[in-house]
Structure 1
Amino acid sequence: MNKILLWLLVFLFFNSCGPKLPRYTDTAFKQYLIDTNKMDKDAAINDSYYDKYYLKYLYDTEKKHILGNPYLKANQVYTYLKSNGNSYIFSVFADDGQLYTGTYFVDNEYLSAPENGIIKIKQHLKLSSLGDFEVTDSIIEISRNIKTAFREWDENDTGYVKNDTIHLTASYIAKRYGYEKKWWAKKHKTHFIHAYQPKLKAGKIKDPQFGYDVFIVTGEFNAYTRN
């Protein structure tokens, strides 16, 4: 998602106040247009194709990359037990490149108390976008934009996926719109464990009140204790 945003900003800049980008050697984009029946294989690619379809091509390419990753369970639910031992963070790493999360307490209106090692969802949970992520093989990076009343910054997490579990092992202050660490920033060691929960089901909808994308989670999951 960050890479798509960067490309869009560059694209708008060059189209509004500079020469046209030398883009016609993008054979992967042309093949995408042919495969999706947007142009004939013998036609010549031009600016209009980029204006109409290139952003969609970037989204579709990212989606294919995420769904094809053999380690990450895209659009499925992971849980992380917080340090208080009484609340869980629910996360969905979606095929649109965004991380959706929500935090809920056990034994309240949303979650039951554990019974025989199982916690049931009483009423659906709503997860909202926290930031973007990238996954390459088993390596995952997360970018979170944080705002307070006094400042705004980007904080990133890095880690790996193994045996249906995400291990986030470091965090650092990053440059805007990317995953590169700021030169002065210190990388902090962490170990946040997000476990895949196959009995939880997630579906994306438009929030009826605000209109942005959210994930709705239902089902039950295995309770666990912190090591």
Structure 2
Amino acid sequence: MRLRNKPWADDYMNENSHIVIADPFSKKGKWATEFENDHPIHIEIGTGKGQFITGMSKKNPNTNFIGIERVKSVIVGAVKKVKEAEVANTRLLNEDADDLRELFEESEVEQIYLNFSDPWPKARHEKRRLTFKTFLEQYQSILKPDGTIVMKTDNRQLFEYSLVSFSQAGWTLEEVSLNLHDLEDPTNVMTEYEGKFSEQGHPIYRCVVRVP
């Protein structure tokens, strides 16, 4: 689906520079200073319209959340949600996270969320999957020792691929759920896609992985 261009997006983000960080690369190793506290840092790759990160921020006021979304016309929706929720523990980055090591120092992050990432089903696109080995190397670098990744998807093939990828990297699978909503987990915050797919009867897969 083609996204509608929003010509006002740049102005809106500039007006809310306390939420959208204009030069996030300068914050590398200094995110604690940005938040003015030493709370754990959790990042979401592919924030979308911000339902998940806003909900998590409300539930966890003593955790700092950073959402990364490359599509300008999408991230403005997240900015609006964060602004309306009046949560002080959230920042958004309008960046294409080609290499997270340019945004975060080694061991600066405690947890990473991969929510409904593009499955890139064709074999020739394997390197674009966010659980391909080169991405796992980035995650391991920026995560603290014993840091975790929480992945949710409705795509069975991507889920199975990711479980193998995590295992081959020598990471510990702490949870594997083939139908998340059967667990009735009170800590789970749904994304926009999760709500839509769940209503359609699709199972939601989740895994929690701990790095060495």
Q: Shorter-chain TM-score category?
A: under 0.3
**Higher relative contact order, structure no. (Cα contacts within 8 Å, ≥ 6 residues apart):** 2
Write 1 or 2 for the structure with the bigger share of strand: 1
Structure showing greater Rg: 1
TM-score when normalising by structure 2 = 0.25
